[in-house]
Chains A and B, each alone.
Chain A
Amino acid sequence: MNTIALIMMIVTQTLVTAIMVYYFIRVLRAKPKPEPDSFLFNDDDPR
């Protein structure tokens, strides 16, 4: 591969992967909102 293509690929793919991972971790770490929220599985008594 030529240098510019290699740089372009590594920068783009690293950036996309890093942003994807960053947002997904933010989702996992986000504090749950008080009930009733939109999700069933965190309910005390699932419907």
Chain B
Amino acid sequence: MAVNNESWGSRVGLILAMAGNAVGLGNFLRFPVQAVQNGGGAFILPYLICFLLMGIPLLFIEWGVGRYGGQYGYHTTPLTFQKMNRMKFWKYIGVFGIFSNVAIAAYYCYIESWTMSYVYHSIIGTFRGLDQHQVASFFTNYLDIGTSTTGIPFEAVIFFVFCLVLNTWILSRGLSKGIETVAKIGMPLLIIFGIFLAIKGITLKAGSDGAIYDGTVGLNFLWTPHFDSLSNPKVWLAAAGQIFFTLSLGQGSVQCYASYVKKKDDIALNSMSAGWMNEFVEVVLGASIIIPISIGYLGIDRVVELTSQGGLGLGFRTMPYLFQQWGPALGAISGVAFFGLLFFAGITSSLAMGTPVLSFLRDEFNWGRRSAAWAFGLTVLVLGLPTVLFFQSGVFDEYDYWAGTVSLVLFAMLEAILFAWVFGLKKGWKEITAGADIKVAGIMKYILKYITPVMLILVFAGSLIRPAGDDWSTLFSKNYELHNESIIGQVIHKGRGPNTSYFADRFYAENDGVIDSIYSREGRNYIAIAAVDSKGETQISEVRYGDRNVPLVQKGHMVKVGDPLYEGSVINKIFFVDMSRLLLTLVFILISFMVYKAYKKRVKEGRF
């Protein structure tokens, strides 16, 4: 019978692993984009306030919950929650602490594989001599798995599988020999790469290496405070959301790592050290790379426009081109540094996602470490392949929305309520301060009990009923309309357009415009539609159609939403969206069933 007797090797190793868990791609790609989209300096103040009032308290809670469970041999949240309160439903709330990790790992490992691939392409000089459009197209082609960018067939799939095998192998080596070793190598390298790029970004000079503006123009945009933003709910929600992602809260991985800490050992200082290390990487390094470099070359307006595609677009479509402006050698070094730091940020996080799954299988079903690691790898492969194969059909976005966003907020909200109100703050406070190497300020009790749960409830409620255009002044008026990306809006498929059936004979236009052209490029067929945006600028959107489809429009035709664009056999995006949701639901049910069996097994064996 395999026994889970894992231990951390050293305290510094634990902190680096925990910081590595928190430091992820979001520190470098999501944070700058959130800051840009929320008015630059307008974002920083709410962000820092959310860190102090929500981030730090939640870190205390998650470390406390983890170590509490570890005393009883539970290294995952389902049975730890059940132990904290006898109401049976808590173990099913705890299921989120395993589910989120599996589902996030499924698409996160895919992004991680892009970073590996881009390191490789930076080294072999793939981006040398390409213009901005060609570099952006490279990313689009890479995602289209049928197209090979380097002669390697199914390159995206191969890198994904390789990345997954690497994660699995490291996980199979255990906490101290696997995860801790990677954190001890990866975190210092990440910081060195980050410092190198931040210096390049800050010292960027207009007129030098093709830059239009100084790097300080971007920093000025980011750091000029806008105190009026404090009254804008949109900015607060964005700031609170970023705190979740950046600290890997509401996921179950912090609890799992902390569960291997003994009761008499400190968690208060450890959590502060790991948390502030993450903030250093985000606020000092993350803020000083993408924004100054991209604004230096492209200007504020263009960068704001580019961020509408998200941080991934900016990072993978634009940055390789900008690095090339520094010459072949420095461009290659910068590409390796940037995508290398993203890779280390990614792998230290994805390993943290695997650990709860391994721990659960080992604790409850006596699996060996290697078997559990390969079971995790296989599960992520099966769950992740749809995100690779149907990336363009929205599967990736669905995973990210439901597992990587909604689940985290919901889980953290319920966890904060459980800890402060159900388990009780008296016991909770003892848990946080037992063995502490620092004195935790008494005011934290009130923050834990009142402010953090209320903030989390507001964040969840805000996500649930987010108004269209983020115009919160309409909330109690007749003009109120749900945002397409609000939780309710997503559930009812708001804003999905006219293509609402899974399968159809015709595909209908989803935007008004004029047919600009109908053409084939690299074996793919497109209908390009030109439309004028709110700024009066013409935007071209492309609709791809298959070889067996026949266009029903011609160049110059005016089209309105709902007009047929082409005919033939069509599988609409909504099919992939609903199948993704179904798959995620089935995974949640399966884990819930395993938790039920584990609980019954423990009761039967007298171990609960």
Residues of chain A whose beta carbon lies under 8 Å from any beta carbon of chain B: 1-2, 4-6, 8-9, 12-13, 16-17, 19-20, 23-24, 26-28, 30, 33, 36-42, 47
Q: B280–A8 contact, CB under 8 A?
A: no
Task: Pick the most buried of A4, A24, A38: most chain B CB atoms within 10 A of its CB.
Answer: A38
B1-15 CB contact bits vs A (8 Å, 1 = yes)? Answer: 000010111111111
Q: A33–B277 contact, CB under 8 A?
A: no
Known: A17-B280, A37-B264. 13 other contacts (CB 8 A): A4-B224, A4-B225, A6-B223, A16-B283, A24-B277, A30-B269, A33-B264, A38-B14, A38-B265, A39-B8, A39-B13, A40-B176, A41-B176
Q: B276–A20 contact, CB under 8 A?
A: yes
Can you list 28 A-B pairs with a CB-CB distance of less than 8 A?
Answer: A1-B216, A2-B224, A5-B220, A5-B223, A8-B223, A12-B283, A13-B283, A16-B276, A16-B279, A19-B276, A19-B279, A20-B280, A23-B269, A24-B273, A27-B15, A30-B266, A30-B269, A33-B265, A36-B262, A38-B260, A38-B262, A39-B7, A39-B8, A39-B10, A39-B13, A40-B9, A41-B10, A42-B10
- Taking CB atoms, residues of chain A closer than 8 Å to B222 are 5, 9
Whether B44 sits at the interface, judged by CB under 8 Å, is yes
Taking the nearest CB of chain A, how far is it from the CB of B193, in angstroms? 17
Q: B223–A26 contact, CB under 8 A?
A: no
Given known A-B contacts A33-B264, A33-B435, A40-B7, A5 and B41 have beta carbons under 8 A apart: yes
Whether B319 sits at the interface, judged by CB under 8 Å, is no
Q: A8–B225 contact, CB under 8 A?
A: yes
Given known A-B contacts A37-B264, A39-B10, A39-B11, A12 and B44 have beta carbons under 8 A apart: yes
Given known A-B contacts A16-B283, A40-B8, A9 and B276 have beta carbons under 8 A apart: no
By beta carbon, the residue of chain B nearest A24 is: B273
Complex CA distance for A4 and B44, rounded to whole angstroms: 13
Whether B437 sits at the interface, judged by CB under 8 Å, is yes
Complex CA distance for A4 and B437, rounded to whole angstroms: 37
B108-124 CB contact bits vs A (8 Å, 1 = yes)? Answer: 00000000000000000
Complex CA distance for A5 and B48, rounded to whole angstroms: 16
- Taking CB atoms, residues of chain B closer than 8 Å to A28 are 12
Given known A-B contacts A1-B219, A37-B265, A16 and B9 have beta carbons under 8 A apart: no
Taking the nearest CB of chain A, how far is it from the CB of B157, in angstroms? 38
Complex CA distance for A40 and B261, rounded to whole angstroms: 11
By beta carbon, the residue of chain A nearest B265 is: A38
Q: A9–B223 contact, CB under 8 A?
A: yes
Given known A-B contacts A16-B283, A27-B269, A47 and B5 have beta carbons under 8 A apart: yes
- Taking CB atoms, residues of chain B closer than 8 Å to A20 are 273, 276-277, 279-280
- Taking CB atoms, residues of chain B closer than 8 Å to A23 are 269, 272-273, 276
Complex CA distance for A24 and B271, rounded to whole angstroms: 11
Given known A-B contacts A16-B284, A41-B10, A1 and B269 have beta carbons under 8 A apart: no
- Taking CB atoms, residues of chain B closer than 8 Å to A5 are 41, 219-220, 222-225
Q: B276–A38 contact, CB under 8 A?
A: no
Whether B270 sits at the interface, judged by CB under 8 Å, is yes
Whether B438 sits at the interface, judged by CB under 8 Å, is yes
Given known A-B contacts A5-B41, A38-B265, A13 and B284 have beta carbons under 8 A apart: yes
Interface positions, chain B 200-249, Cβ under 8 Å from A, are: 216, 219-220, 222-225
Complex CA distance for A45 and B176, rounded to whole angstroms: 15
Complex CA distance for A38 and B261, rounded to whole angstroms: 5
On chain B, which size bracket covers the interface?
Answer: 35 or more
- Taking CB atoms, residues of chain A closer than 8 Å to B7 are 38-40, 47
Complex CA distance for A15 and B476, rounded to whole angstroms: 41
Please pick, from B14, B220, B266, the residue contacting A1 in the complex, using a CB distance under 8 A: B220
- Taking CB atoms, residues of chain B closer than 8 Å to A8 are 41, 44, 223-225
Q: B9–A41 contact, CB under 8 A?
A: yes
Closest 4 CB pairs of A and B: A9-B223, A23-B273, A5-B223, A5-B224
Complex CA distance for A36 and B276, rounded to whole angstroms: 28
- Taking CB atoms, residues of chain A closer than 8 Å to B272 are 23
Complex CA distance for A3 and B292, rounded to whole angstroms: 17
Complex CA distance for A6 and B287, rounded to whole angstroms: 14
- Taking CB atoms, residues of chain B closer than 8 Å to A41 are 9-10, 13, 176
Interface positions, chain B 297-341, Cβ under 8 Å from A, are: none
Complex CA distance for A28 and B176, rounded to whole angstroms: 18
- Taking CB atoms, residues of chain B closer than 8 Å to A37 are 262, 264-265
Complex CA distance for A20 and B19, rounded to whole angstroms: 11
Complex CA distance for A40 and B5, rounded to whole angstroms: 11
- Taking CB atoms, residues of chain A closer than 8 Å to B438 are 26
Given known A-B contacts A12-B44, A13-B283, A33-B265, A26 and B273 have beta carbons under 8 A apart: yes
Complex CA distance for A47 and B265, rounded to whole angstroms: 19
Task: Pick the most buried of B216, B273, B287: most chain A CB atoms within 10 A of its CB.
Answer: B273
- Taking CB atoms, residues of chain A closer than 8 Å to B216 are 1
Taking the nearest CB of chain A, how far is it from the CB of B155, in angstroms? 38
Taking the nearest CB of chain B, how far is it from the CB of A18, in angstroms? 9
By beta carbon, the residue of chain A nearest B264 is: A33
Taking the nearest CB of chain A, how far is it from the CB of B528, in angstroms? 41
By beta carbon, the residue of chain A nearest B270 is: A27
B528-546 CB contact bits vs A (8 Å, 1 = yes)? Answer: 0000000000000000000
Complex CA distance for A5 and B435, rounded to whole angstroms: 41
- Taking CB atoms, residues of chain B closer than 8 Å to A4 are 224-225
Q: B279–A26 contact, CB under 8 A?
A: no
By beta carbon, the residue of chain A nearest B279 is: A16
B444-480 CB contact bits vs A (8 Å, 1 = yes)? Answer: 0000000000000000000000000000000000000
- Taking CB atoms, residues of chain B closer than 8 Å to A27 are 11-12, 15, 269-270, 273, 437
